């Protein structure tokens, strides 16, 4: 069965440290169960992920808030036909805009145009020197963006600064996308439909700094046999159980009598016997 996962980009909520792992930690599971016990339900797992100060786990994706593959596979039944013992999840799916790998670098360290302006001394710098420092492709992108913002001007092959300080609006916008703010998500949807949006939003699409992905989160409620700390049920009585006598206090996992057994290895007829049987059938059919 498919293992449920949490989204790594969480629209509408703040974004603390990214969390993702193929196996959950006890702290994460304990925090989820404790929160569920105190509040009765979790209408939005994104809000819980933002609220909890959870440790950074090894990754699947770097951006956004994520409780990815942490608790649900172990806290809820793995198949829909099993009884809902601990918590009853309902998955909520939507498409959202998230940062590309290139944009994540800008969100963390600033946009290229800001770095370009910072590298220009008061007396200016030659295009050749800046190309050598940034590379042709990066310099070209940063030059166009900085010139559009009127941060630089050109004079006989020299690039001069026109401002002392710059405000990196692109970095701030990228952080808002990374945090999944609803206002930015709505503006990107409007842009997709061809409606009027701010120029900076258009830059995100033009420079391919955002991409659309499907995100999934969950709402949870207590199940009929909810417990704050789950017990590990025994599957069989072992020799150690018999020797220690603790088998009397063990709780055993219910047997699934409808489960399929192990496949049986079936043999094959010997070729000569098959030929003899075919000859016998011919005479039988003749009477």
- Most confident residue range from 36-45, 65-74, 98-107: 98-107
Would residue 197 count as lying in a domain? yes
| Same-domain check for residues 126 and 151 | yes
pTM for the model stands at 0.52
207 and 116 in one domain? yes
Which of 94, 106, 70 lies closest to 178, judged by CA?
106
Once rounded to an integer, what is the mean pLDDT over residues 15-28?
A: 46
Structural domain includes residue 65 = yes
What confidence category does residue 284 fall into, taking pLDDT thresholds of 50, 70 and 90?
very high
- Same-domain pairing of 80 and 119: no
Q: Which domain holds residue 51?
A: 24-94+215-222
61 and 118 belong to one structural domain: no
Confirm whether 160 is domain-assigned: yes
Are residues 161 and 144 part of one domain?
A: yes
Residue pLDDT, tens place only, 197-240 = 888 888 888 888 888 888 787 888 887 777 777 777 888 888 88
Nearest to 62, CA basis, from 100, 109, 24 = 100
Identify whether residues 77 and 48 lie together within a single domain: yes
Residues 187 and 157 in one domain: yes
The stretch 112-136 carries a mean pLDDT of: 89
pLDDT at 86: 55
Would 71 be classed as within a structural domain? yes
Number of domains in the chain: 2
- In whole angstroms, what is the distance from residue 190 CA to residue 177 CA? 15
Which of 189-203, 211-225, 269-283 is the least confident region? 211-225
Helix segments in the chain, DSSP class H: 26-39, 45-51, 72-75, 101-109, 112-119, 127-134, 136-148, 169-178, 182-192, 199-206, 239-244, 271-286
Residues 78, 149 within the same domain: no
pLDDT at 126 over 50: yes
> Greater confidence, 9 or 138?
138
Q: Indicate whether 49 and 125 sit together in one domain.
A: no
Same domain, 54 and 79: yes
Same-domain check for residues 78 and 170: no
Q: What are phi and psi of 198, to 5 degrees?
A: -60, 150
* Residues 33 and 106 occupy one common structural domain: no
């Amino acid at each position: 069965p498919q293992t449920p996962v949490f989204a790594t980009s969480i629209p509408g909520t703040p974004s603390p440290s990214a969390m993702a792992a193929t196996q959950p930690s006890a702290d994460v599971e304990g925090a989820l169960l404790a929160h569920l016990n105190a509040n009765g339900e979790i209408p939005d797992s994104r809000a819980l992920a933002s609220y909890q100060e959870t440790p950074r786990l090894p990754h699947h994706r770097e951006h956004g808030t994520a409780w990815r593959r942490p608790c649900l596979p172990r806290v809820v039944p793995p198949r829909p036909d099993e009884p809902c013992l601990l918590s009853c999840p309902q998955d909520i799916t939507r498409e959202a805009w998230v940062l590309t790998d290139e944009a994540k670098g800008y969100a963390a360290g600033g946009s290229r145009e800001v770095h370009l302006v910072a590298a220009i001394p008061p007396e200016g710098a030659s295009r050749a020197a800046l190309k050598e420092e940034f590379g042709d492709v990066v310099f070209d992108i940063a030059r166009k963006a900085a010139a559009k913002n009127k941060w630089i001007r050109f004079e006989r092959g020299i690039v001069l600064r026109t401002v002392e300080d710059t405000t990196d609006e692109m970095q701030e916008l990228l952080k808002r996308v990374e945090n999944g703010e609803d206002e930015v998500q709505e503006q990107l949807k409007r842009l997709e439909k061809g409606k009027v949006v701010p120029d900076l939003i258009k830059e995100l699409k033009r420079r391919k700094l955002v991409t659309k992905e499907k995100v999934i989160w969950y709402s949870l409620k207590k199940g009929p046999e909810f417990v704050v700390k789950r017990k590990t049920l025994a599957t069989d009585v072992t020799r150690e159980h018999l020797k220690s006598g603790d088998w009397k206090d063990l709780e055993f996992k219910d047997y699934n009598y409808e489960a399929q057994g192990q496949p049986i290895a079936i043999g094959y007829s010997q070729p000569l016997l098959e030929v003899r049987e075919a000859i016998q059938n011919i005479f039988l059919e003749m009477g």
